[in-house]
């Protein structure tokens, strides 16, 4: 695979390189891309030294696939240019997720909708990916009517600046603030920007992206995002109301048989998902599986994943692997991007 990684020096970009290495994917050529001020600087990958490319140089190199992790503004500007050159873009930002013409992909759920004409592919929000991976088999079996989700999100979801804020606070150092409040020994119900409806942009991403991936806009969803002083891993307390009743044993079996999910659900021995379980891993961990006794046909779950792995880097790499295996990349330039 001829691969470019755009934003290769950022938090997610570095994680993408780690995932590629662990999956033993060594692109030829490999084209790291970053901002113009980083152009020409060295980057080590697979025991080789590469040099940072500009966008223009990367497009001229004609990779099959470009994984973007450089933010929505860069993606809106550059993804169509890559696509116009016949390069398939897998974008980690929010720029294209809700575009009706752009597929929003979690490979285990809906990769089959991809064709060689899709030259921009959106990677969902990190909290959405782990949620829908657990929900998809349950929705297919019991049909979800309503979702209530509360997420407890790591500072890595905000970026390197937030990580530095937490580390500075833990070390008693005054520094630049990524958040309006201290995060160490604290948490706050604020992720993204507040909207006119009182929800945040992160909360509404969870709502809209879940409906799009599951291809069911009848599902009613409400979410609360909480930022917590954790360095890696998002956790979600999720309540589901189904159209059809279920047996707990069958639910556990469905989830256990879903690729990418690991069940941690032995409360007698204090076994349940935690961010520490998920750190550095590609799987989504599910536990605290129990019936909601307050209303019919309802279930509670606790879902945890490493937001930089399955929530971003791993999902993007898995999309690239699928494109390669199905021979869907690097062919048939779509006229819509010209």
Positions marked catalytic: 126, 234
User: Residue 186 is encoded by which pair of tokens?
Assistant: 């604290």
User: Residue 277 is encoded by which pair of tokens?
Assistant: 């379980």
In the DSSP assignment, the letter for residue 211 is H
User: Residue 76 is encoded by which pair of tokens?
Assistant: 């809106």
CA-based nearest residue to 289, from 265, 262, 260: 265
Cα angle at 21 between 17 and 22, to 5 degrees?
A: 120
Measured distance CA(219)–CA(106) in Å, rounded: 18
Instruction: Using only the alpha carbons of the chain, give its radius of gyration.
Output: 20
Q: How many CA atoms lie within 13 A of 288 on its CB side?
A: 14
**Phi, psi (rounded to 5 degrees) for 260:** 95, -5
Measured distance CA(217)–CA(49) in Å, rounded: 47
CA-based nearest residue to 155, from 177, 173, 175, 134: 177
Kindly report the number of other CB atoms within 10 A of residue 268's CB atom. 5
Contact between 31 and 52 under an 8 Å Cβ cutoff? The reply is no
> Strand order in 261-263's β-sheet?
220-227, 144-153, 234-242, 298-305, 284-291, 261-263
Contact between 316 and 123 under an 8 Å Cβ cutoff? The reply is yes
User: Residue 316 is encoded by which pair of tokens?
Assistant: 């993007």
Measured distance CA(142)–CA(144) in Å, rounded: 6
Q: Where is 276: in which H helix or E strand?
A: helix 275-278
CA-based nearest residue to 131, from 195, 207, 55: 207
């Amino acid at each position: 695979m001829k691969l470019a990684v755009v934003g290769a020096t950022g938090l997610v970009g570095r994680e993408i390189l780690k995932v590629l290495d662990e999956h033993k994917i060594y692109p030829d050529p490999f084209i790291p891309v970053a901002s113009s001020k980083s152009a020409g600087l060295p980057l080590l990958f697979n025991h080789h030294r590469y040099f940072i490319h500009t966008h223009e140089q990367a497009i001229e190199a004609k990779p099959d696939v470009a994984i973007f992790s450089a933010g929505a503004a860069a993606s809106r500007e550059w993804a169509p240019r890559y696509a116009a050159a016949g390069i398939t873009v897998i974008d980690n930002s929010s720029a294209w997720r809700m575009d009706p013409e752009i597929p929003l992909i979690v490979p285990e759920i809906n990769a089959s909708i991809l064709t060689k004409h899709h030259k921009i592919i959106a990677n969902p929000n990190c909290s959405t990916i782990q949620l829908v991976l657990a929900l998809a088999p349950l929705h297919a079996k019991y049909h979800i009517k309503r979702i209530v989700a509360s997420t407890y999100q790591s500072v890595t979801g905000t970026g390197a600046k937030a990580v530095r804020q937490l580390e500075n606070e833990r070390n008693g150092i005054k520094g630049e603030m990524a958040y309006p409040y201290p995060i160490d020994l604290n948490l706050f119900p604020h992720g993204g920007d507040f909207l006119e409806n009182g929800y945040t942009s992160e909360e509404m991403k969870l709502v809209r992206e879940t409906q799009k991936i599951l291809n069911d806009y009848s599902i009613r969803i409400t979410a609360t995002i909480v930022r917590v002083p954790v360095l890696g891993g998002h956790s979600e307390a999720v309540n589901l109301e189904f159209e059809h009743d279920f047996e707990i044993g069958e639910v556990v079996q469905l989830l256990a048989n879903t690729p990418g999910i690991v069940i941690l659900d032995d409360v007698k021995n204090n076994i349940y998902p935690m961010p520490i379980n998920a750190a550095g891993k590609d799987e989504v961990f599910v536990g605290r599986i129990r019936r909601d006794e307050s209303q019919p046909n309802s279930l509670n779950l606790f879902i945890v994943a490493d937001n930089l792995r399955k929530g971003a880097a791993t999902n993007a790499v898995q999309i690239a692997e699928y494109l390669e295996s199905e021979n869907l990349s690097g062919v048939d330039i779509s006229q819509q991007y010209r």
